[in-house]
Amino acid sequence: MTAKHTALVLGASGIIGRNLLEYLDQREAWKVKAIARRAPGFETKADLRSIDLLNPEAIAAASDWLKDVTHIFYAAYQEHPNTADQSKYNVGMLRNIVEAVEKAAGGFRHITFIQGGKAYGAHLGMYKTPAKETDPRHFGPNFYYGQEDYLRDASKGKRWSWTSLRPDIVFGFAVGNPMNLGNLIAVYASLCKELGIPLRFPGSPKAWSILANVTDATLFAKAMEWAALNEACYGEIFNITNGDVFRWSQIFPKVAESFGIACVEPQTFSLTEAMQDKAEVWERMVRKHGLAQHSLKELATWPFGDFIFNVENDAFFDVNKARRFGFHEMHLDTGEELVKLMNRLKARKIIPA
């Protein structure tokens, strides 16, 4: 079958980009190109290049390569120490690639770009739940808002449109991504098992019982394709999660059971501090169990875990808009999906079996 569409995936080595590439590799309708800052540590059929998205000249030099692009999937991101710079550079990267593709590719029709909980102010603390796409913005700057405003303005009267998808915490198979809570939980549980201690929730007592949700990376890849090919989605924003709501008090016992260890009462402590002397422990585990050569730093970013496990207010999205528009994949059980991820990490020898 000849591909009907050509995807350009930005941020291809991240958790969203990687899982999207793996999904599109199985879809005969797609020819896939991708841009990433580093070579992916996995096999893919995608035609991949490393291009500096902050350099318009570098992107323009690839105009022949971009000329058949029909759909952009934008999951690129650069971290910066303050929100003003974060907005400046992330909006700049998006603008540069859109302008280049618009100029080079006569068949360019759509860009799907990723927002997230920060659109509701999740990084600031409490926000209204369930969060809806129509909720008002928080006081900025926020690079999500800048990107959205740019696309709204730039697409007016053009042949192409946009859709924004808002996942919450994304779980999926990937290595070397800073905000990968699935890997963090897996590594933490593996260390507990190796050290002969039970698994404890490390956050606050309130955080143990709040309502939360997450987004499976493969489910999210399906949502990205759905939004890209469904014209009813153009110019719209959609929350995308697994579809269920849970408490950490329901999740940690399932994780512990999958590792064959006990889960006992929570005890508040800093993962960041507790893991400062665990790099050598992990190195010994890699040798002992014949694991893939990944350092503890590559697999888990402990301050991210400390933040998530100390959120003391409900944090979840309303996903009914996407369902009304026809996306019916959001029916997963997060506890079961997390155990599946643990088993996949074990099978790939990222963590001990």
Per-residue pLDDT tens digits for 112-125? 999 999 999 999 98
Question: Which candidate, 294, 186, 318, 147, places its Cα nearest to that of 244?
Answer: 318
Binned at pLDDT 50, 70 and 90, residue 178 comes out as low
Domain spans of the chain, in order of start? 5-169+215-240, 172-214+245-315+332-346
Per residue in 47-81, is it b (16+ CB within 10 Å) or e — as a string? ebeebebeeeeebeeeeebbebbbbbbbbbbeeee
How far apart, in whole angstroms, are the C-alpha atoms of residue 322 and residue 325? 5
In the chain, the amino acid numbered 209 is: S
Computed over every residue of the chain, the mean pLDDT equals: 95
pLDDT at 312 over 70: yes
pLDDT at 323 over 80: yes
Number of Cβ within a 10 Å radius of residue 166 = 23
Binned at pLDDT 50, 70 and 90, residue 313 comes out as very high
Per-residue pLDDT tens digits for 103-153? 999 999 999 999 999 999 999 989 999 999 999 999 999 999 999 999 999
pLDDT at 248 over 70: yes
Which residues, in sequence order, are CB contacts of 152 under 8 Å at separation 6+? 162, 235
How deeply is 89 buried, as exposed, middle or buried, from its count of CB atoms within 10 A (0-12, 13-18, 19+)?
middle
Percent of the chain topping pLDDT 70: 99
For 11: left if phi > 0, alpha if psi spans -120 to 50, otherwise beta; the answer is: left
- For residues 41 and 166, the model is more confident at 166
CA–CA distances in Å: residue 263 to residues 64, 232, 272, 292: 56, 46, 21, 27
Per-residue pLDDT tens digits for 37-94? 777 677 888 899 999 999 999 999 999 999 999 999 999 999 898 999 999 999 999 9
Binned at pLDDT 50, 70 and 90, residue 174 comes out as confident
Question: What is the DSSP secondary-structure string of 43-87?
Answer: --SSEEE---TT-HHHHHTTHHHHTT--EEEE------SSHHHHH
Task: List % helix, strand, coil for the chain (3-state, nearest 5).
Answer: 45, 15, 45
**Once rounded to an integer, what is the mean pLDDT over residues 8-26?**
93
pLDDT at 318 over 70: yes
What is the structure's pLDDT at 100?
98
What is the structure's pLDDT at 338?
96
- For residues 38 and 277, the model is more confident at 277
CATH 1.10.3720.10 assigned to 5-169+215-240: no
